[in-house]
Amino acid sequence: MPSLPPSDPSLIRGWLEAIGPELAERVREDVSLRPLTTLRVGGPAQRYLRVETEHELATAAAAAQRIGVSCFVLAGGSNLCISDRGIRGIVIHNAAQACSIGPVTYAAAGHGLILLSLKALEAGLGGLAFAIGIPGSVGGALVSNAGAYRHSIGPLVRRVLVTHAGETGWVGPEWMQFGYRDSRLRHSGAPAGCLVAVELGLEPGCADTIRSEARRYQHNRIWRQPWAPSAGSFFKNVYDAELAQRVPDLPDDLRKAGVVPAGYLSQACGCRGLRCGDAQISPRHGNFIVNTGQATASDVRNLAEEVKRRVMERFGVALEEEVIYAGDWEQWTAAA
Active site residues: 181, 233, 322
Q: Of 166, 158, 139, whose CA–CA distance to 74 is shortest?
A: 139
What would the x/- binding string for ligand FAD be over residues 116 to 135, using CB under 6 A? ------------------xx
Q: Which residue is nearest to ligand FAD (CB)?
A: 140
Comparison of 46 and 137: residue with beta carbon closer to ligand FAD: 137
Q: Under rule CB under 6 A, which residues in 216-255 are in contact with ligand FAD? A: 225, 230-232
Comparison of 125 and 289: residue with beta carbon closer to ligand FAD: 289
What would the x/- binding string for ligand FAD be over residues 173 to 192, using CB under 6 A? ------------x-------
Comparison of 153 and 269: residue with beta carbon closer to ligand FAD: 153
Question: Among residues 72, 178, 234, 315, which is the contact residue for ligand FAD, using CB under 6 A?
Answer: 72
Dihedral Cα 164, 169, 175, 178, nearest 10 deg: 90
Radius of gyration of the chain from its Cα atoms, rounded to whole angstroms: 20
The answer to whether 287 and 233 have CB atoms below 8 angstroms apart is yes
Dihedral Cα 271, 275, 279, 280, nearest 10 deg: 40
Residues 6+ apart with CB under 8 A from 325: 81, 83, 301
Q: What does DSSP say about strands 44-51 and 288-291: parallel, antiparallel, or unpaired? A: unpaired
Q: Is 166 in the site for ligand FAD (CB under 6 A)?
A: no
Comparison of 134 and 310: residue with beta carbon closer to ligand FAD: 134
CB of 45 to ligand FAD, least distance (A): 12
Comparison of 141 and 259: residue with beta carbon closer to ligand FAD: 141
Other C-beta atoms lying within 10 Å of the C-beta of residue 271: 21
The answer to whether 43 and 83 have CB atoms below 8 angstroms apart is yes
CB of 74 to ligand FAD, least distance (A): 5
Q: Is 197 in the site for ligand FAD (CB under 6 A)?
A: no
Phi first, then psi: what are they for 17, rounded to 5°?
-65, -40
Residues 6+ apart with CB under 8 A from 276: 299, 300, 302, 303, 306, 335
Q: Under rule CB under 6 A, which residues in 291-320 are in contact with ligand FAD? A: none
Which residues sit at the interface with ligand FAD, rule CB under 6 A? 38, 72-80, 94, 109, 134-137, 139-141, 143-144, 146-148, 185, 194-195, 225, 230-232, 324, 326
